[in-house]
Structure 1
Amino acid sequence: LVRKDGSTFPILLSATAVTDRQGRFISSRSTLIDMTERKRAEEALRRSHQSLEALVAERTTALLAANQRLEQELAQSQQIQQALAASESRFRELVESLPLPIWTCLPDGTCDYLSPQWATYTGRSAEEPFSTGCLQHVHPEDRPKITEQWHDAVAHVHPLDAELRFKRADGVYRWFHAHATPIRDQDGRVLKWVGTYTDMHDRKQAQEFQARLAAIVESSSDAVMSKSLEGRIESWNKSAELMFGYSGDDIIDQHISRILPPDRRMEESILIEQVKAGIRIQQFESVRIHKDGHPIHVSLTVSPIMNANGQVSAVSTIARDITERKRVELTLTQQRRLIELSYDPIFSWDMERGILDWNRGCEQLYGYTRAEAIGRNSHTLLKSTPSCPLETIYIELETTGAWTGEIHHRTKDGQEVLVESRWGLMKAGGQRLVLETNRDITEQRRSELMILQKNKDLETLLYVTSHDLKEPLRAIESFSVLLQERYADRLDEKGRDFLRRIVRATQRLDRLLTDILDLSRAQRMDPPIDEIGADDLVREVVRRLESLINSTGARITVRAPLPRLRVNTTWAVQGLYNLVANALKFVAPGDAPDIEIAPHVEIDPEGAESVGLVVRDRGPGVPPDQRERIFELFRRAVGRDVEGTGAGLAIVRQVAERHGGRAWVSPREGGGSEFFITFGINRQVAKEVGP
């Protein structure tokens, strides 16, 4: 088209016919598009195409050259692939020839290869995919830990080292060391994981055995040490620290001479030379020095330590402290010398070895020489008959360490002797020795039995005499009273006084005979078998003395709680009655009796506990020189003005002694006296005394 200004420009004409409803042409519709720029672009494109063709020709030449180079490189790559395949083949051959299982994993940790050794060990099926890995063969206790360690290694790309147990084809678990390393490319990216499983079961067991052995050595009560052949200390257990005073840090790498007395250093050299020769030395007794300088007696076991080649490379020493045993042996030696000088039979024995020592006194009493007695069982040799079963004696020995009693023995010539035997148990150095000391009491017992019989005869005579004297005494008293009543008016005052004296004398003699009879009965009283509270005894005494208590206006105080006693109730009441009756009689003129009854406990030197009562008064007291004499029959510390026969306290003492106790008097603080009576060891409340 031509513009107004006369210039032309290219256009693109597009015309469309316009029709009515019947399809008849009405007009046309045209669209004109200015193609000036398009034409310019086409021209530019044409010129560019020409330039491109020239460039393509140039590039084609370059591409042909590059293609030639690529073909060369491809040929080289094929050579490399062939070399890589050959290398992989050699690697597989190498892996499959190694005894330990080898495996590989992808960078994400998925297993892609397991060597045949793994299948051989686990019995893994050939059809089982590699991706299932090894976890199902791991011991259930180890699975959580190894899973966590493997995930951590994969996530942080660091080598894996772990110990775990794998189940063998026969179901047995063995320990393995797992090691895995990531393989990286030049840019540091992980290409693959390569790992191995190394069987360490035997080494693990050896380590555990060695650890147990080390624990045993460390916990041993003996000192255990090792030293080089030059005498340098290499190991030193806890007991060695305790025994010698040096810590491991102080003594290791030091020479053994640190604990050797100067006179024992040559001995150590000799021991090491013997060990070098392969000789094991046992129970060698020697002396070592503590860090503070005091000597220690030891029993040594010295053994060679062999290296892998069977050569002696070091020395093991076990030292047991025998200082206490040596002290005991020295004491026993000294005691043995003293025992040999004794005239009493003394010997020692134990259950297994029999008689160990037999002194001169044993030879003289029993007739057996030392050579005949040593090693024999003493009970069999002497045909022992103890006062109680041997089992009971052994139990007491174990409990208290001692036993005392009487034993019947038979001498070599068949005579029976009675001995008072004292046994003492001594434990030392693992030994249990019994020292038996005997005293011949055969003649003493015969004399005692004779005296006992004579005392019984005397008691019987006393009882009969007292009883028989009462009959004529009653006649004298009765006729004297009748004479007073019927004929007193025929007598002068002097005659009546004589009669009154006769009556008083007969009454006093009657009381004396009554007390003598009571004393005789007390000496023959039945054994104490009643279990009774002391408060019951006090109530009975107070009931009997109620009239006298009321008439004197006495005040009686009872200090509770009172003990329970094992007594003969009749005589326990009599003894307490006599003490309270005395307290009611012996008072200062014009004063009412003030009496206190309280419990009393005493412990003898052997620890046995005796119980009883104490009766305290505010009377005139007892002079020191009379405190023992007043317990004798018919002994009094006062004159005739105070009623009494002098037998009451004798009966009290007899009651106490028949119960296994005693009776005595002491001054009371603030004035008066304290009269004590005990009833022996009360089995219900006696304190148990340990060994």
Structure 2
Amino acid sequence: MKVGLPKNFRDAYLAAIVEHSSDAIVSKDLDGIVQSWNAAAERLFGIPATEMIGQSIRRIIPADRQYEEDAILARVRSGELVPKFETMRKRADGTEIPVAITVSPIRDASGTIVGASKIANDLREQANLRAELLHSQQQFKALANNIPQLAWMADEKGWVFWYNQRWYDFTGTTLEEMQGWGWRAVQHPDHVDRVVEGIQHAWDTGEAWEDTFPLRGKDGEYRWFLTRAQPLRNEAGEVILWCGTNTDITEERETNERIRLLMNEVNHRARNILATIQAIVHRTVGTADAELTEALIRRITALAANQDLLTGERWNGAAVDAIVRSQVLHVIDPTDHRVAFEGPEGIVLKPTAAEALGLAIHELATNALKYGALSNGDGEVAVRWRLADRDGERSFEIEWSESGGPPVKPPERKGFGTTIITRNPEMAFHGKVRLDFRRDGVLWRLAAGDDALTNQSASRSQ
């Protein structure tokens, strides 16, 4: 046998629940006249119970929503529960606020419907969050659709689920066609297997991805794109999203190709000029001064070798290791392994410094072959270069060291060759050259700051 609470206690208990509820709880008769108005309703609408009880509930309903009350009362009279719906209601100061309302019939002891109970939830915080989310979505959409790149997003497994409008405008496709791996349809058949392999490696390893390949536009023509994809990770370091962009580089590639062709043409004409100068030297000086003719010809050859290196790099600079090896091997038989090279790759010199170093190395190699360590069968040459850190500043050093050759005698006079290996490098590098005619072999050393280095030069010290 169940024992219930006394009626008077039960009524007081229920009244306390209603009064202390955080939701606005209101009761009204079938004409919409308010019968009860709890504390939460006072806070939500800014109207005390003494002002609302006995007044029509329509006071808090905006003029353009009065029809809602007609529909609510009609459903309550028929015994229906009005499920939760979102709407707007007025506060005492006339401002409208978003609320969620549920309405249910109230019956007397005989079961007759005598009124309605309404519960209202304040949605202002949710509305603000929705507005902020909508604003963020609008900002993202505006940004994504106005950047010059094609953009896309994929889930952690690489399933592409979103593209920006520029992708659709360029490809003439739809999301249904492109989602997942559908993007393969606009890949060039000569590149698609390589691209799929590369991006699958990124999906599998979580490594950032970059590649260059053509994509087909809606006109059927292919354009070249630089494509990058970066993983977005959670706090545990797990990939949760991939963000990718495709940047059209067709014009850049075409421009670079035109520049390359132009520079090759300029280099070709420059070499023709150097060949003409060589011919003039032969005809003007000829056998009258064979030594002078030889010196001029080999220096012109050194200039031509330097020019080839710089043209190959579009005159952005030349790597030290390429300069040294090229100039030495222009003078010495490649099968002669008595010259040792030691130094890091990736140290790139600006054009002026590259030319000065090339001429200096060529002059040193020629002198070594004629008079120094390479003029006999026992001598050796070591060429070493490195980046160093001195007092927090980067410096460049290169050394030419001979050993095992005939005893060295300092020259009786300083000619143009000395200028090439001392003054020219010092001016081009803003550095200092040490030239030491040691008895056991010539030592030439250049030390300079990083003024002559390009930004792409390796930063490590060796």
Query: For the superposition of Structure 1 and Structure 2, which TM-score range results when normalised by the shorter chain?
Result: 0.3 to 0.5
Question: Over alpha carbons, which structure has the higher Rg?
Answer: 1
* Greater relative contact order (Cα < 8 A, sep 6+): 2
